[in-house]
Chain A
């Protein structure tokens, strides 16, 4: 696809450019811009939500691919014709699928993505809760299993340890 001349970032891994396609900044150009600042702002905003489909993860506003430029112009034309932001995004999705949106839409195919972090938080909370509960139950055993104690042969708690444990549990309950 010889049109995919995208800028390359190479930031994170310090790598050579694979395809030799890198070009530096030629993102949105002054000659593309609309005279009306309100419309132009909307155009920039929409452009930042659309992925340049011939590049890698770049929005069309920052991309210097020619197709990205044409998309920017199309966005502006539609704005001038009075389309809403949503209608323009819908048009692009209609042509390229969800792939063209940098923010994945919330729908069946992305539930796992959007709910994922929530599930991770719940799992982490569960893990933390289980940890303390587990320690409260099994802690004394582990804590007492000193060098004197053989494997799997829990020693009795010393009076001092019992005291400490109770104090600790009381505290945990309280706060």
Chain B
């Protein structure tokens, strides 16, 4: 019964979606306030209906109702409750329902908080959002109904892949989807603006918080996935340039560009058609990711079961939504006229440079990800585009980006002073060179050391540059500390958010380079009592014992880690054998000292002897990746709390006009 209610609610939601995507649009065209206002109750109704549906599926998982096919195929009574719930989105159908739930949640947020939006823009935005939701509802109802029944119901379910039974991965998909789907808001705003024929500073002000929110979630979602891969897969890697990873990285790159170009629209009324295009592309890349993951068109270690029917449906959704909006763009965008003038050397100029580099990086990753598809289609043979390609082409693009990231914020609007900015960055330059030289000397030369020195030098440049910019804002050491403190407190949150996010990037840069080049690995058979030394730490294998969990049995190895005779940690990695479905997993044990991780994995017993296969890793600066991602996410949150970004805040027209004061036309 519950499942039927869930199914029925989805059908009703589709009906409402039809209303939401048409009536307000007609209303906005005719200037009919009643028809326009229908968008809000419609969005609420959609939220309730999809919410009921999602609750129904979750309930079926919680009570282990195996008469529902989806539950029977993906759950098991022995599973801990957390994974029963996360199992809801651990499969194609359920994850699609989660996607739709998030879509309608965003629409509800716009309906609720968007009271100050111009009524036509709000009506059109919600209508476009309704169209996307309608498309996805059709998708789920036609090809991926999660509420199908199974008769007779099996005694127990098939269980969830044990790799997915992990707290990190339980929250990874919702985070990621909050990001992907969040970009639908920017998309809807962009399409609404194209229909409206009007993009101005106020529009940019409305779009920015949604983009920022989506970007923040996506950043954290990607980091969470990366973190999970790092500790769960058992060899300490955190990024593989796998097509599906790229599929999440592409909207992040485009979304980051969008975040920055929207600033130029808001402040200077320029880059309008480009920003609109970016909004379409960013969500388009989110949809592309969905298509790649669910169609089986590329080989990926991730990916749901390949299903051409689903593939064709997502492709259709992609073609209609993105193709349609790009055509609308082709017709309408030429009418958008750029506003404020600025010189290449200016804040806007550096934001534009950021956009050009980000766009290049996006195109490059997209090309690498899809090249096997292109080559195959053109009968050029099967090729693999692996990490060496991406590292070779992506890194050179990031270097100028990171260099300008420190300079850009130092420049004034319209017309900056490059020399002045650089001279104020002397401290960053000096420290960066010190770090570079110090690393080179201490590292003992060689290619790896040069690369690490270069990466760390860049990171230092960005970090110090960002801090210098902050120090200048609060006039540190120029006025009294108390005055600086007051200035710090009164700092616009958006500016502080930028500082945090840019500092986060600096940490990630440091983490990426050092962990890539200075990672150490030892793979060997160890017998109890044996000690090996990795990067100065002594790992003594104390043996292994059998342990058991709720739905698995495991071998638990014990490693005593000491340094200079002092005990540091006891690491207890496990090799688990799950029962349903029967599958082994490795649970690495990680000790972090904040700078580096000590990472131990226990494998199978070697031969018949007392020894076990063990893997010990020294992972320097990997924690910086997580700190950096957290800082970026935090920067997003802080920025969101900025008065000017607060979605419910009254439109501050005077400010908007002041931002666009270069020309008389205001918002």
Q: Could you tell me which A residues sit within 8 Å of B by CB distance?
A: 6-20, 22-31, 33, 49, 51, 55-59, 62, 97-104, 109-110, 112-113, 116-117, 120-121, 123-125, 127-128, 131-132, 135, 138-139, 142-148, 164-165, 168, 171-172, 175
Contact = CB atoms under 8 A, between A and B. Distances in A.
Given A20-B161, A56-B242, A143-B662, A13 B364 contact: no
A9 B161 CA distance: 12
Among B163, B229, B243, the one with the most A-chain Cβ atoms within 10 Å of its Cβ is B163
A24 B235 CA distance: 10
A154 B216 CA distance: 42
A79 B442 CA distance: 34
> Which label, helix, strand, loop or mixed, suits the secondary structure of the B interface?
mixed
Given A13-B247, A23-B584, A25-B601, A8 B301 contact: yes
Contact of B304 (A7, A16, A117, A143): A16
Instruction: Please indicate which of the listed interface residues A17, A112, A164 has the most CB atoms of chain B within 10 Å of its own CB.
Output: A17
B163 A57 contact: no
Most interface-central of B289, B300, B389 (chain A CB within 10 A): B300
B74 interface: yes
Closest 10 CB pairs of A and B: A102-B386, A14-B173, A25-B234, A103-B388, A12-B245, A109-B380, A146-B664, A24-B586, A12-B248, A124-B356
A15 B173 contact: yes
A12 to B, nearest CB: 4
B375 A109 contact: yes
Contact of A57 (B160, B301, B382, B393): B301
B340 A128 contact: no
28 contacts: A10-B164, A11-B225, A12-B244, A13-B173, A13-B244, A14-B221, A16-B90, A18-B303, A19-B305, A30-B606, A31-B525, A58-B240, A98-B384, A101-B386, A102-B388, A104-B386, A109-B380, A113-B385, A116-B363, A121-B397, A128-B344, A139-B341, A143-B339, A143-B662, A148-B664, A165-B341, A168-B343, A171-B415
B634 to A, nearest CB: 22
Contact of A18 (B164, B249, B305): B305
B665 interface: yes
Contacts of A124: 356-357, 359-360
Q: How large is the interface on B (under 10, 10 to 19, 20 to 34, 35 or more residues)?
A: 35 or more
Given A14-B176, A14-B177, 4 more contacts: A6-B301, A102-B387, A142-B338, A175-B345
A9 B388 contact: no
A143 B339 CA distance: 5
B585 interface: yes
Given A22-B583, A102-B388, A13 B240 contact: no
B299 A99 contact: no
A113 B383 CA distance: 11
Interface string B597-616: 00001011010000001010
Contacts of B359: 120, 124
Contacts, number: 262
Contacts of B380: 109-110
B663 A144 contact: yes
Contacts of B95: 14-16
A28 B601 CA distance: 13
A128 B351 CA distance: 12
Nearest to A113: B371
Interface in B90-133: 90-92, 95
Residue among B222, B249, B604, B664 having the largest count of chain A Cβ atoms under 10 Å: B664
A121 to B, nearest CB: 6
A50 B131 CA distance: 45
Contacts of A117: 360, 363-364, 367, 393, 397
A135 B339 CA distance: 9
B524 interface: yes
B581 interface: yes
Nearest to A169: B343
Contacts of A98: 381-384
B233 A25 contact: yes
Nearest to B270: A135
Nearest to A55: B301
A25 B92 contact: no
A8 B606 CA distance: 24
Nearest to B303: A18
B226 interface: yes
Given A24-B586, A103-B389, A12 B381 contact: no
B315 interface: no
Interface in B124-170: 160-161, 163-164, 169
A18 to B, nearest CB: 4
A30 B235 CA distance: 14
B71 interface: no
B367 A135 contact: no
Given A13-B302, A17-B163, A132 B344 contact: yes
Contact of B299 (A9, A23, A56, A142): A56
Contacts of A20: 161, 581, 583
Given A102-B384, A135-B341, A14 B586 contact: no
Given A15-B173, A117-B364, A175-B418, A97 B382 contact: yes
B367 A116 contact: yes
A104 B384 contact: yes
A15 to B, nearest CB: 5
Nearest to A165: B341
